[in-house]
A and B are shown apart, each in its own frame.
Chain A
Amino acid sequence: MQKLLLLGDEAIAQAALDAGMSGMYAYPGTPSTEIMEYIQASPRAAAEGVRREWSSNEKTAMEAALGMSYAGKRAMVAMKHVGLNVAADAFINSAVTGVNGGLVVVAADDPSMHSSQNEQDSRFYGRFAMVPVLEPRNQQEAYDMIFDAFNLSEKYKLPVLIRITTRLAHSRAAVERRDARTQNSSSLPSDPRQFVLLPAIARKQYRALTGLYEKLRTDPVLSGYNRFAKSDNKKTGIITCGIAYNYLLENLEQHHDDFPVLSLAAYPVNSDAIAELVESCDRVLVLEEGYPLIEEQLRGLLDRDVKVAGRLDATVPRDGELNPAIVAAAMGMKKDSGKEVPAVVRQRPPSFCKGCGHADVFSALAEVMKGYGPRRVFSDIGCYTLGALPPFNMVNSCVDMGASVTMAVGAADAGLFPAVAFIGDSTFTHSGMTGLLDAVIKDSPITVIISDNSTTGMTGGQQSQATGRIESICLGLGVNPDHLRMIIPLRKNHEENMAVISEELNHHGLSVIIAMRECIQTASRNKKAAAAKKSQTV
C-alpha cells in the first residue's frame, strides 16, 4: 500500500478519511491544528463531501460531532488538551448518551507547555468519562489506531479518545495506508431516548456505562496494544506509556531484552498485564509522557506494597515532557551530553511580527495607561499575549479563552477602575461573547478592546468565525452604540487612537473598542494564494 511521509497529526487525519469519516470538527490549537488543516486541504475529502469547517470553539465542535454521530455517520473532533476543558460538558455526557455513528475525539497534549498554559494529561479525561483511550507510540500506530477507534466506538457505542502529545503531533515519519472504506449511510439511533439525559434515563445509562468500562479492560483490541516483553532480569521492570517507549528503546539500543517492559498504549488497562510485571520484579520504573496516571494507580493510597519509581519519587522529573536523556537518567545510565551552551547565546523569546496591528494597539494603550497606574490590563490567548513581554509589558493576565472580559468584570466589581480587557477576534467568538453579555447587563465600567486581525493568527492564520461580524455581534449583545468605537491600528493613526482609548477609559460604563487590521502574515499568505490561483487560471 502507498506510503506517505506524515506528521502524527496528518496520519490521524489521513486515517480518519480512509476509515470513512463523514465530518471533522475542530477549533485551532497547537499541537492539534494540522489535523483539520490536512482534511481541509484534501481533494478527496472535498470530492466525497466530508464536512470540515472550523467550529467556534471546542464545545461546539464536540457537540456537532456528536450530532453527526447521532445521525449515524462517523465523526471526529480534534483539539488541544485545554480545549477538552471547554468541550468537557459535552464530552463527559457523550459517554453517558453513547454514540450511534463512530465518534473519535482527539486531544493533543502539550507537556512542557511549548505553546500552552498548562500540561494537563488528557488520559485523565478518558478515565473520568469512562471511555477507551488510545495513545499511539508512533505515526504508523496513530494511523492504525484511528481505524480501531472508529470500530471500537461503533462496537461499544462509546466515544473513543485518542491522546497524543506534541512530539508525535509534530513529527514526520513514513506511514503505510490501508484500503479506504466508505462512509456510513445515515441512520437514527435505535432507542429514541438514548440521547435524552433526563435523570431517570441518565441514571440507567450511567450504570450501564460503569459496567461497560470494566468490560473494556479485557477487550482484545485494546489489550492488544499493550505489549509485554519478558526478560530474565528480575530486578527492575519498566512500564512505559505512549511515546515514552521510544525513548526507552533509544537508550536500550541493542539490549532490548535487558529489562522486562510493559509498553502501554491503550486504556483502561487489564490489571493482569500489570500484575505479571509487578510480581516478577523487585522494582517497577514507570515512564509516562504526562502526569503520573499509571504510577499513582500502582502506588495506591498506601503506597507500600509495590516498589515504584517514577515522577512521584523524583526518579523522573515531576513536570515536563520526557526525552531520551531524562529516560537514560531515570534508568541510571550514564550518557554523555555535548558541550554546554556558550555564554554568548541569549534567550530569543517570540515577538510580534514587524508591522503587526496588535503592537500598534498596545503602543497606543501603553501611552494612555501611563496616566492610570499599572496592572489593569486583562488579556487572553493569542499572538497579542506577547504584549506581556518587553517593550510593552502591558498584559497582566492570560488564563483561558475569553477570561479577559470576565476577569475585568470581576475586578471592576471589586472597584478597579479603569479595567481593560484585551482580546482577539477569534478568541472573542470562541468564549468572549458570553462574558461580554454579562458586562452589558450590568453596564460594567470596563473597556474591552477587541483586536481584530481577521484571522486565528497564533496557530497559523486559520479562518476566524468573527471576521466581518464583531460589530454586529456587539450591537446584538446590547453594547451601547455610543461606546462602541472603531479604530485602525496604524502608526499614522496613533494620536487619534490614543484619544479614542482615553475617552472610553474615562467612561464609567461598558465600552468596546474594535481595533481592526488584518494579520500581516495571513494577509501575505492570502495574497500569494490569490496570485497562485490567478496564474493557474490564466
Chain B
Amino acid sequence: MKCDVILAGVGGQGILSIAATIGLAAVERGLFLKQSEVHGMSQRGGDVQSHLRISDSEIHSDLIPHGGADLIISVEPMEALRYLPWLAPEGWVITNSVPYINIPDYPDIAELKAALEDNGNTVVLDADSIARELGSPRSGNMVILGAASSFIPMPFEILEHAVQQLFSRKGEEVVDLNIQALRAGREAAGRE
C-alpha cells in the first residue's frame, strides 16, 4: 500500500492541519510517512504545497515524483490545478470551490470551473459553506479532508481518531465540530 498526496493552498490557509491529521492516522496504523512542508517566504500569501507520502514499505524521496501522486487535496480551486504535473493518470483531485483572490489577475471563475471539469476524476465542493452551516467556519480544511477520505486507504475511524488527537488540546467542543466537519465533507463528496 502506498498513498502519495499533494496538499495545496495559499500561505496562511493552514493546509498543514490536513497533513497533520493524515500523519497522525498513518502513525497510528504503523505506516511509514514522509511529509515535506513549505516554510519561509511563500507563507506570505503565496502558493504553498505539502508532499505527503504514506506507505507500508520504506519511503525514499521526500518529494513525490511527477506523475506519481494518487491525490491532490486542495483548499483553493486554482491551486488544485497548479500541481497536475504531479498527479498520476488515475489520480483524483479533491478541492474546495471557494477562490482565494489575493492577486489582481485571478482567472475568470467560469474558466476555472471549466478547467476543473475538464480534468475528470475531480471532486469540487464548497467547503466554506458546509463548515459555516455546521457553525464552525474555520473547519473548512476538515470538510475537504472528509471529502478526500474515501480515497485515502485507511479506515475512516482512524482519521476521526486523528482529528480528535489533533484538536484535543482545544477542548471537546472544537473536537466535535471538526469531526462533524470531517463527516459532512465525506457525505458531500459521496453525493457528488
Contacts and interface: CB of A to CB of B under 8 A. Distances in A.
A8 B131 CA distance: 34
Given A30-B40, A351-B44, A341 B81 contact: yes
A460 B85 contact: no
A346 B105 contact: yes
Interface residues of A, number: 49
Interface-central residue, A339, A344, A348, A352, by most chain B CB under 10 Å: A348
Nearest to B112: A344
A5 B64 CA distance: 19
B161 interface: no
Interface residues of B, number: 56
B146 to A, nearest CB: 22
A472 interface: no
A168 B46 CA distance: 21
A324 B34 CA distance: 15
B36 interface: yes
A347 B87 CA distance: 19
Contact of A172 (B23, B38, B87, B88): B23
A383 B45 CA distance: 12
Contacts of B89: 336, 338
B115 interface: yes
B151 interface: no
A348 B46 contact: yes
A368 to B, nearest CB: 24
A393 to B, nearest CB: 13
Nearest to A3: B27
A353 B45 contact: yes
B37 to A, nearest CB: 5
A324 B64 CA distance: 8
Contacts of A342: 81, 84, 115, 118
B10 interface: yes
Interface in A309-352: 323-325, 328, 335-342, 344-352
Contact of B107 (A31, A33, A246, A345): A345
A171 interface: yes
Given A246-B62, A342-B84, 9 more contacts: A34-B39, A115-B39, A173-B32, A173-B35, A335-B66, A337-B85, A344-B108, A349-B103, A351-B103
Interface of B: 10-12, 23, 27, 32-47, 51, 59-69, 78-79, 81-82, 84-89, 91, 102-108, 111-112, 115, 118-119
9 contacts: A172-B36, A246-B62, A338-B69, A338-B86, A342-B84, A344-B115, A350-B45, A390-B104, A460-B39
